[in-house]
Amino acid sequence: MIAALLLALGPLAGPGVRASSAQAPVAQAAGPTAAQLDALRRAALRRDPRALPRAPREHWPELLRWTAERERWPEGFGAAARALAEHDPARAVHELCALLERVPDFPPALHQLGVVYFRLQRYGDAAVPLERFLELAPERVAETRALAHAYYTLGRYAEARDHYQRVLAAEPRTAEAMRGLALSHLRLGDNARAQELLQQLLQLEPEHADAHAWLAQLLYDEEQLEAALAEALRARDLAPAVPRAWFLLGRIQGELGQHDAARAARERYETLAAAAQEVRGLEARLVFEPRSAPLVRRLIEVHAASGDIPALRAALARASALEPGSFELACLALGALERAGDLEGAARAAALLEERFAERAETWRLLEGWFARRKDLQRQLQAGERYRRLSAPR
């Protein structure tokens, strides 16, 4: 179950769950305080999914029939959806566990809980509801790729390999399952099979940066340095903000005698690895402070400095939801996107500034610099004139 699907669902009732009346007036209670939400999140993350109640096996057919009737899903999915849309996975865990206490083993809630735990990097916890989901609905194995990912991350490589194979048997063109299967074989010592699977994946998705990087690693291990270099360069070009390719380039180019390039690659790797570590720290804090604008702004700055354009755009969207209509955020967006090399995004940010904040002198000072760097002399001069007019004493 994806967040977009959950968001479309309102509070609905099903068998054994009290329906809410659309006719009855509902008093608007005050929302929980920040301290109460913090306590709720911490309590949710202390929960053990193994302790969730189980449904008797004779109820499983009814649960599966109910799963197919989305218009009758139980209350709780709407709240979980809102939590996910607001980047609040700990609150989503709370809502999903509460639902599963009311409706034990409801398959969509088990699946979603496993996915949320996986995103939280709680891999052991993720496996529990996903295994229970699969026990109830084995024919839906294609939806449980995250279970294989959890096994792999836990170091249970044989189980990961076997589950990836089940997923691929159901959905043969699942790229991430093929990647996972390749890496499971690699961890189990079957490098030849891993290389074969990575090459199959690249036939399916030629621009899969991580597959190119792992293929570079395998070729490097086989001392095929020129071939490894070509794959590492391709991985770098496809995902220039991912550290792995730079690490490989530093090693491969060093062995090929390309010492200046190797030194530059190692330096870039160290920069990106430090940024990745800071991002992990920020994301861990945001689990408990999902509405912290300063943390999200710092995330924007780190992604901008590392040039991770997809992550930067996602962070900007998150910040925009937290601070709608913020002039300071609009200014930050222009600088961050330009610094990351996303000129298309920066042009949109500049247009947004011009459209929404034309009455502010600072807007035109920023745009004057933007147009100057774009070598648009006419608009640079126009922006400079607007800035001087708006900033003049009155």
31 versus 105: the higher-pLDDT residue is 105
* pLDDT greater than 50 at residue 6: no
Query: What would the pLDDT profile of 320-348 be if each residue is shown by its tens digit?
Result: 999 999 999 999 999 999 999 999 999 99
* pLDDT greater than 70 at residue 19: no
pLDDT given for residue 77 in this prediction = 81
When the pLDDT of each residue in the chain is averaged and rounded to a whole number, the result is: 91
* pLDDT greater than 70 at residue 288: yes
Q: Using an 8 Å Cβ cutoff, are 73 and 14 in contact?
A: yes
Q: What is the band of 17 on the pLDDT scale with cuts at 50, 70, 90?
A: very low
Q: What is the band of 74 on the pLDDT scale with cuts at 50, 70, 90?
A: confident
Q: Using an 8 Å Cβ cutoff, are 66 and 72 in contact?
A: yes
Query: What would the pLDDT profile of 206-216 be if each residue is shown by its tens digit?
Result: 999 999 999 99
* pLDDT greater than 60 at residue 5: no
Q: What is the mean pLDDT of residues 261-275?
A: 98
pLDDT given for residue 148 in this prediction = 98
CA angle 35, 90, 140 (to 5 degrees): 160
Residues 193 and 186: their CA atoms lie apart, in Å, by 8
Q: What percent of the chain shows pLDDT beyond 70? A: 92
Q: What is the band of 31 on the pLDDT scale with cuts at 50, 70, 90?
A: confident
Which of 284, 287, 324 has the alpha carbon at shortest distance from 88? 287
Q: What is the band of 72 on the pLDDT scale with cuts at 50, 70, 90?
A: confident
Residues 273 and 279: their CA atoms lie apart, in Å, by 10
Q: Which residues are within 8 A (CB) of 140 and not within 5 positions of it... i.e. 6 or more apart?
A: 107, 133, 134
Q: Using an 8 Å Cβ cutoff, are 252 and 228 in contact?
A: yes
Query: What would the pLDDT profile of 81-115 be if each residue is shown by its tens digit?
Result: 899 999 999 999 999 999 999 999 999 999 999 99
Residues 304 and 159: their CA atoms lie apart, in Å, by 38
3-state secondary structure (DSSP) of residue 392: coil
Token reading at 344:
């298309």
Residues 224 and 34: their CA atoms lie apart, in Å, by 56
Residues 391 and 362: their CA atoms lie apart, in Å, by 8
pLDDT given for residue 194 in this prediction = 98
Q: Which residues are within 8 A (CB) of 205 and not within 5 positions of it... i.e. 6 or more apart?
A: 175, 211
Q: What is the mean pLDDT of residues 127-145?
A: 97
Q: Using an 8 Å Cβ cutoff, are 130 and 142 in contact?
A: no
Q: What is the mean pLDDT of residues 74-78?
A: 80
Model's pTM, two decimal places? Answer: 0.86
Q: What is the band of 29 on the pLDDT scale with cuts at 50, 70, 90?
A: low
pLDDT given for residue 30 in this prediction = 64
